Amino acid sequence: MNQKIIDLFDEFTHGVMPRREFLKRLTVLAGSAVAAQSILPLLENNYARAAILPEDDPRITARRESYKAGDVEITGYWAQPAKKSGPFPAVMVIHENRGLNSHIEDVTRRVAAEGFVAFAPDMLSPLGGTPDDSDKAREMIYSLDGAETLARLKAGLEHLRTLRGTTGKVGVVGFCWGGGMVNRLAVADPKLKAAVAYYGRQVPAEEVNKIEAPLLLHYGGEDKRINAGIPDYEAALKADGKTYEIFVYEGAQHAFNNDTNEARYNKDAADKAWGRTIAFFKKYLG
C-alpha cells in the first residue's frame, strides 16, 4: 500500500484530525471515493481476526478482574496458566489508543500461555470502559489526564506485586499509546523488573536517570513519527549505563504487531519481536 496512505492513517489515529477530513484526504490519495472505500477496511482493525490464542485454549484460564486506584475502580482482562500451580511472575499488558479490545485480550492470553499471570487494565474504566466505536475510544484516550492515568497504572503494578498467586516480580508490555506509558512507568516505578515498549513514545532524556528496569524497545522501520525520538533516548540510556535493547524492524509500520490490521501487520517482525519479548520476560522475571 502507498506509504502516504499509511502515514495519513497514522496521523488520523494519533492526532485530532476529524474523520471527515481523513476520508477527504484519503479520497485524494486513492484517486476516487470508490477506491478510498475499498482501502478503508484494510486500514482499520478487524477484531474478528483477533484469535491467535482462543479464549478456550486449555493452557490458560481467563476472566474479568478489577483493582482500586485511589477512589476509582479499574476493570480489565486477566489470564494465567491453567495446569500449573503458582506463584507466577506477572505482566501488565497496556493497550493501544483504541482501548481494551479483543486483540489486546488475545495478547494477554498469549503472555499467560508462556507461564505468567497477565493482566490488561482498561484505562478507559473511569469513563465507562472501552466502547465498541474505535474512533470514540481514541477520543476518550486523549481526554485522559496523563499524570492521573500514570498513577492508576502504577497502582495496577503494585496490585500485581502484592496479589496471592504472584511472585512479586512484575513486568509490563505496551503497544502504541501503551508503549509510551511503558516508558513513563519505567521512570515512575523503580520496583518494575522488566519493561517492553512496542513503538512507544520516548520520555525526555533528562528523565532517563530515574529508570531502573531493563528495557526492550521495538520499533517499525517505517514509523518516522515515533522513530524520531530514538537517537536522543538511546543516547541518554547509554550515557546513564541503563540495561536496554533496541530493535528496529526494517520495512515494518507502526502497529506492526497488530494482526487485526491488514495494512500494517508484519508477521515476520511481529514473530521476531514476540519471541524476544517472551525471552526477555523469562530472563528478568524468572
Please identify every residue annotated as catalytic. 176, 223, 254
Rg (CA), the chain: 18
| CB proximity list for 285: less than 8 A, separation 6 or greater | 89, 90, 91, 116, 167, 169, 170, 171, 193, 194
Whole-angstrom Cα distance, residue 248 to residue 251?
A: 9
Strand order in the sheet with 88-94: 60-69, 72-81, 117-121, 88-94, 166-175, 194-198, 215-220, 244-249
> What backbone phi and psi angles, to 5 degrees, belong to 129?
95, 165
* Helices (H), ranges, the chain: 3-13, 19-30, 33-43, 102-113, 134-141, 146-162, 177-188, 224-227, 230-239, 267-285
Q: Phi, psi (5° rounding) for residue 267?
A: -60, -40
- The C-alpha cell at 57 is 485454549
